[in-house]
Structure 1
């Protein structure tokens, strides 16, 4: 199935401002804002977090399947899809991320 089709099967992220990925020491490693161009990644990472409890190796493997056609492109063009590159790194290193979901009501005003 294509990435766009996979997204249709995942829960809404309308309430999410951003996802924060925390490393093993609890330090902020990455932020994925819920903005155009990143909303698909937020949707996918949020669903993986809900199912797996973190972005671990199993979540990363599932994520690569859900990113579908973008996964193959990311492997050919490293750096062009940082949220897929991150999943590949989780699999390669075995080091995952805890996730903090920042809801729109909790986000600081711009």
Structure 2
């Protein structure tokens, strides 16, 4: 299934951004609910709601949701930073806290 098709099956979320932080609470990134990142916002908001954090299990589901973007990210590191972040979580096993603001 393509990303757009899977995205349409996810719940809608309201908010300005998903804030990602480490175990100490330091903010590591934000994914805005704005054109160009609204899809990533929706995926990360869904994962945060379902798993409580972005851990390895959540990252694996997120990569499946991103579908063709996951494949493109593997071929072009840095092109899809929100996909790359999930790959890093799988590699390191270090989860991120995520909250919708």
TM-score (norm 2): 0.97
Secondary structure of 1:16's aligned partner = coil
Where do 5+ consecutive residues of structure 1 fail to align? 103-110
For residue 36 of structure 2, give the secondary structure of its aligned residue in structure 1. Answer: coil
Secondary structure at 1:79 match in 2? coil
Matched residue, 1:8? 8
Over alpha carbons, which structure has the higher Rg? 1
1:36-68 CA-to-partner distances (Å, cap 9, x unmatched) read: 010000000111111111000000000000000
Unaligned runs of 5+ in 2: none
Aligned-residue offset at 1:16 = 1.1
Distance 1:42 1:87 in 2: 13
For 2:99 and 2:68, locate their aligned partners in 1 and report how far apart those are by CA, in whole Å.
27
More helix by share: 2
Which residue number in structure 2 is paired with residue 73 of structure 1? 72
Q: Normalised by the size of structure 1, how large is the TM-score?
A: 0.90
Q: CA RMSD in A?
A: 0.6
